[in-house]
Amino acid sequence: MISRILATARIEANISRRNRWVLIAVLLMVVFSLVLSAAGSAPTGAIGADRLSVVVASLTSLSVYLVPLVALLMSFDAIAGEVERGTLPLLLTYPVARWEVLSGKLLAHVAILILALVAGYGAAALIAIITDPEASAGLGALWRLTWTSVLLGATFLGIGYAVSALSRRASGAAGLAIGVWLGLVVLYDLGLLAAVVADDGGIFTTQVFPVALLANPADAFRLFNLSAAEASAAASGVAGAAGTIPLWQSLGSVILWPLLALILAAMAFNRVKS
């Protein structure tokens, strides 16, 4: 079982390397992290937080958009691509279970994601630590951001596999993946914001809004990191809501979502006819 998962992970890693996805993911994370850390370095003195904590707060806002995007880009082809190339029937005649195939792909994509995150966050953190001797105080926040980013990535990898399994063609899966990204990461927040403004402190704002934030993996990720961080004052947007939702709830959502997304992916993959 393990050897079959590892074999699948190795072949997927090879494919991702050849298709430049590894390079693209690492470059995206490094470039955006560096740009953000350079742009966000000015207000440190005013807030009184160490530089790394401020960088982590900026990286959190960046990762909410970028990590799901990178994960979806890596995963949309995973099953639809095999169907379209005609490689799936042969693979399914091998003594390998569908969940093993999926696990192998997941393992490879998570490894690539970790590589990109470590490179991006690492570069930004290194600059912060070099320029600010106090910055090591923010290492805890950086660690928290890293592992929650991996979980966020795994969630969107799972969603990507599910989308890929439900589409008949890779191009359809790509379109659907972008739609999912727009919906969950961008439009969802805009919708909530509009509703909160319209509601003006009513039942929606006090009862529905916190649940709606927890129900979205990207929002839960942001909530958890911001409410856990001391530098939350430096953040903007939904950060105000972070105070009202207990930490354990956002942590629960951050941990549950990857499991949920992967179960969804496995169910969708099992429905694919060979």
Partner 1 sequence: MTSTLTISHLTKSFGGVDALSDVSLSVASGERVALLGHNGAGKSTMMKIILGLIASDSGDISVCGASPGDASARSQVAYLPENAAFHSALTGLEQITFYMRLRGVDPKGALDLLARVGLADAARRRIGTYSKGMRQRVGLAQALIGQPRLLVLDEPTSGLDPVSRRDFYELLDGLAADGAAILLSSHALTEVEARTDRLLILSGGRMVAEGSLTDLRSEAALPVALHVTAMNGYTPDLMAAFPNAIQTGRGLYLTCPQQDKLATLARISEMRGKVADLEVIPPSLEDIYSHFSRRDGQ
Q: By CB under 8 A, is residue 10 in contact with partner 1?
A: yes
Number of residues that bind partner 1 (CB under 8 A): 24
Q: How far is the CB of 14 from partner 1 (least distance, A)?
A: 6
Q: By CB under 8 A, is residue 168 in contact with partner 1?
A: no
Q: How far is the CB of 8 from partner 1 (least distance, A)?
A: 8
DSSP structure string for 164-189? HHH-SSHHHHHHHHHHHHIIIIIIHH
Q: By CB under 8 A, is residue 14 in contact with partner 1?
A: yes
Q: By CB under 8 A, is residue 86 in contact with partner 1?
A: yes
* Rounded distance between C-alpha atoms, residue 58 and residue 53, angstroms: 9
* Rounded distance between C-alpha atoms, residue 109 and residue 9, angstroms: 8
Which residues between 18 and 47 bind partner 1 (CB under 8 A)?
Answer: 18-19
Q: How far is the CB of 16 from partner 1 (least distance, A)?
A: 9
* Rounded distance between C-alpha atoms, residue 216 and residue 213, angstroms: 6
Nearer to partner 1, 2 or 190 (CB): 2
Closest by CA to 166, choosing from 77, 80, 75, 89, is 80
Q: How big is the chain by its Cα radius of gyration, in Å?
A: 20
CA 270 to each of CA 57, 99, 100, 225, 236: distance values in angstroms, whole numbers, following the listed order: 39, 8, 12, 34, 41
Q: By CB under 8 A, is residue 137 in contact with partner 1?
A: no
Q: By CB under 8 A, is residue 3 in contact with partner 1?
A: yes
One residue of 38, 90, 186, 263 binding partner 1 per CB under 8 A: 90
* Rounded distance between C-alpha atoms, residue 110 and residue 150, angstroms: 7
Question: What number of other Cβ atoms are within 10 A of residue 20's Cβ?
Answer: 10
Q: Would you tell me the crossing angle of helices 139-166 and 98-131 to the nearest 10 degrees?
A: 150
Chain Cα centroid distance, residue 132: 28
Tracing tokens 């470590």 back to the chain, one arrives at: 118
Nearer to partner 1, 8 or 225 (CB): 8
- Interacting stretch for partner 1, rule CB under 8 A, among 85-93, 119-127, 156-164, 206-214? 85-93
Q: By CB under 8 A, is residue 271 in contact with partner 1?
A: no
Q: By CB under 8 A, is residue 94 in contact with partner 1?
A: yes
Q: By CB under 8 A, is residue 107 in contact with partner 1?
A: no
Contacts of 87 (CB under 8 A, 6+ apart): none
- Interacting stretch for partner 1, rule CB under 8 A, among 48-56, 88-96, 135-143, 148-156? 88-96
- Interacting stretch for partner 1, rule CB under 8 A, among 66-74, 87-95, 109-117, 227-235? 87-95
Q: Would you tell me the crossing angle of helices 77-85 and 170-181 to the nearest 10 degrees?
A: 170
Q: By CB under 8 A, is residue 272 in contact with partner 1?
A: no
Q: By CB under 8 A, is residue 216 in contact with partner 1?
A: no
Q: How far is the CB of 258 from partner 1 (least distance, A)?
A: 26
One residue of 23, 87, 143, 259 binding partner 1 per CB under 8 A: 87
Q: Which residues are near partner 1 by CB under 8 A?
A: 3-4, 6-8, 10-11, 14-15, 18-19, 85-87, 89-90, 92-97, 273-274
